[in-house]
Amino acid sequence: MNFTNLFSSINPKEVIKNLPDAVFVVDLDGRIVWANDKAAVIFESKARDLKGLNFDEIVANGLFLAEKSYSKRNSVVTGAFTIEGKEFFIEMNAKKYVEQYFITIRDVTAMTNVLTIAERTGRLNKEKNVMFAKLSNEIKSPIQSIIGFSQALLDGLGGEINEKQNKYVKIINKNSTELLYFMDKFLEFARAESSLFHCENQIFDLVNTIQTVVRNNENVLNQKGLNVGYDFEEFTKRAIYSDENAVKIILQNVIETSIKLTDVGSITIKVKYPDMDLVERCGAKITKASNSLSYVEITVSDTGMGLAESEQEGIFEPYTQLDKNRKKTIVRSLSLGTAYTLLKRMGGAIWVNSEVMKGSTFHIILPVEKEIQTEM
């Protein structure tokens, strides 16, 4: 077969005419020389009516952006107009042949709207969370007053109350205490998501920090009769470089969750240096300078009731729990969601392995070297 004869018989305009994108041929002065039928559809006109128009009349900065697309060898997104003046968004690619631009155009209005809405929603969510975080004292103060005054009534500071009144005041005190705990977790999560969070890294003793968090939970541990064991044998360098306050919040929320899941037995906290393949698989941030000593893996294992697969779904995502109408599940996801969000912003990761009646193990991967975090 003679391919030369075959290709010489092809009409380029016929090929262009049948392309799925709008196609314009524009001379170097910006005048539209030719347009295909798809261009007529997108610009709500007829191809013959588009011919002869200045390209800038239907595409904002059209000729300039065509040259930019050609010279940079990539697409550009800009606004466009029908002849009647209706505005929409297009993605444009341009090539230059023999003193003419061949320009392909796609209508990306729907996608641009989606991205704009997503950007606006993300911005509003951050602003909303900043507002919640800044108003935390105003939100919590009335609840704290209810708790304080109801406890004073129970202690007899307001005079003697009868048995029925005592019962009602106990209910008020209990529910307001639970509400304050919920608001603490909600506002903690809002702050972690907001732009107010910034890593304040310093060198500190991780072992001491872990033991401090456990001591803060001694009352509930003693009430349940739970023992806490430590395994720091593989952790040879106690000093790490990270945000100590954020690490305390993460550990508190994870250990607190393990305590709530465990009625009998013990909780074991282990610290070691993870293998790099585990760091890669879990989604922690990795830099060129990182190695296994650049991270620590903290595991919190309990002998509790464990979590069913359905309970593990979305356990770190509070928004996915709202339709379950279970206060315990939502509060747990707020706590773990805060840990997940903080670790993600710090370049780390968290996940859980759990089996019903066999307990749960929470895994935390945390970057701990200054050089690594400087590159993030």
3-class DSSP state for residue 150?
Answer: helix
Confidence (pLDDT) at 207: 96
Exposure string for 259-273, b = 16+ CB within 10 A, e = fewer: bbbbeeebbbbbbbb
For residues 47 and 216, give the distance between their C-alpha atoms in angstroms, rounded to a whole number.
75
Query: Whose CA is closest to 23, among 99, 105, 96, 133?
Result: 105
What residues does each domain of the chain span?
A: 3-107, 125-193, 202-375
pLDDT above 70 for 375: no
Encode pLDDT of 265-309 as tens digits: 999 999 999 999 999 899 888 887 788 889 999 999 999 999 998
- Asked whether 258 and 268 are in contact (CB, 8 A), the reply is no
Confidence of residue 352 (pLDDT cuts 50, 70, 90): very high
Quick count: other Cβ atoms within 10 Å of Cβ 54?
A: 14
For tokens 């005054």, name the residue.
149
Indicate the fold that domain 202-375 takes in CATH. Answer: Heat Shock Protein 90 (3.30.565)
Phi, psi (rounded to 5 degrees) for 16: -60, -40
Query: Whose CA is closest to 241, among 363, 346, 350?
Result: 346
Q: What is the mean pLDDT of the segment spanning 31-46?
A: 90
Containing H/E element for 170? Answer: helix 163-193
Q: What is the mean pLDDT of the segment spanning 45-55?
A: 90
Confidence (pLDDT) at 3: 36
Encode pLDDT of 108-124 as tens digits: 876 655 555 545 555 55
360 has which bridge partners? 354
CATH 1.20.140.10 describes domain 3-107: no
For tokens 């650049």, name the residue.
294
- Asked whether 199 and 246 are in contact (CB, 8 A), the reply is yes
User: Distances in Å between the alpha carbon of 188 and those of 4, 47, 93, 184?
Assistant: 71, 59, 47, 6
